[in-house]
Amino acid sequence: MKTILYATDYSKNSIAALKYAKKLSTKVGAYLVVTHVFGYPIVAEGAFIEHMPDIRKQNLKTHRAKLKEFCQQNLDGQWNAKHIKISPVEDLTILDGILSIAADWQVELIIVGAKGESALQDVLLGSTTKRLLKKAACPVLAIPSEVRFTAPKTIVYATDFEQEDVYAIRKTVELAKRFKSKIKVVHISTKKEYAGEIQMEWFKNALAGKVSYEHLDFKMFFSDDVFESLRSYLEEVGADLVVMLEREKHGFLKKLFHRDLVKKMHSQGEIPLLSFNEANLDVLDFTLR
Q: Using alpha carbons, select from 243, 195, 239, 249 the residue that is nearest to residue 220.
A: 195
Asked if domains 3-143 and 154-277 share a fold, the reply is yes
Alpha helix segments (H runs only) across the chain: 15-28, 52-74, 94-105, 119-125, 128-135, 163-179, 196-208, 226-237, 252-257, 261-268
Per-residue pLDDT tens digits of the chain, which is 289 residues long: 789 999 988 888 889 999 999 999 988 889 999 999 987 655 544 454 455 667 778 888 999 999 999 999 999 766 766 789 999 999 888 889 999 999 999 999 999 887 644 444 444 444 455 567 778 888 889 888 888 898 999 999 988 887 788 888 988 998 899 899 999 999 887 766 656 677 778 888 888 878 888 899 988 888 877 778 888 888 899 999 999 887 765 443 454 445 455 556 555 557 888 988 877 666 666 564 4
**CATH 3.40.190.10 assigned to 3-143:** no
Report CA-CA distances (Å) from 135 to 21, 80, 249.
Answer: 21, 31, 15
AA identity, residue 155: I
- Rounded Cα distance between 234 and 152, Å, is 13
Cβ atoms < 10 Å from Cβ of 114: 27
Each domain of the chain, given as residue ranges in start order, spans 3-143, 154-277
**CATH placement of domain 154-277:** 3.40.50.620
Report the amino acid identity of residue 281.
L
